[in-house]
Amino acid sequence: MLKEQWLPSLITNSPEEGFELAIKLSRMGVKYTQPDIEILKKSRPNYANDAKGLTMASQVVALNFQTVAAANNYWK
């Protein structure tokens, strides 16, 4: 588990910041799932050029963006 606090809030000032937070959430999910950075680096070539894998990664970002958008009342 990570020890530093990296997510003080889901509240952002704009949709663009919300999208960046969604990407951060997605990346942190990978980091929690595979904390060994060397294994992550070694496996990256396996999915970096895989259309299905990239589409799945985009879906995770989209899901996290939905969460952030809802937390921000869709920036209304």
Cβ neighbours for 31, distance < 8 A, ≥ 6 positions apart: 2, 40
How far apart, in whole angstroms, are the C-alpha atoms of residue 52 and residue 73? 31
Q: What is the pLDDT of residue 4?
A: 76
- Please tell me the pTM assigned to this model: 0.88
Asked if 71 and 14 count as a contact pair (C-beta separation under 8 A), the reply is no
The candidate with the shortest Cα–Cα distance to 14, out of 70, 61, 69, is: 69
pLDDT in tens, 25-46: 999 999 999 999 999 999 888 8
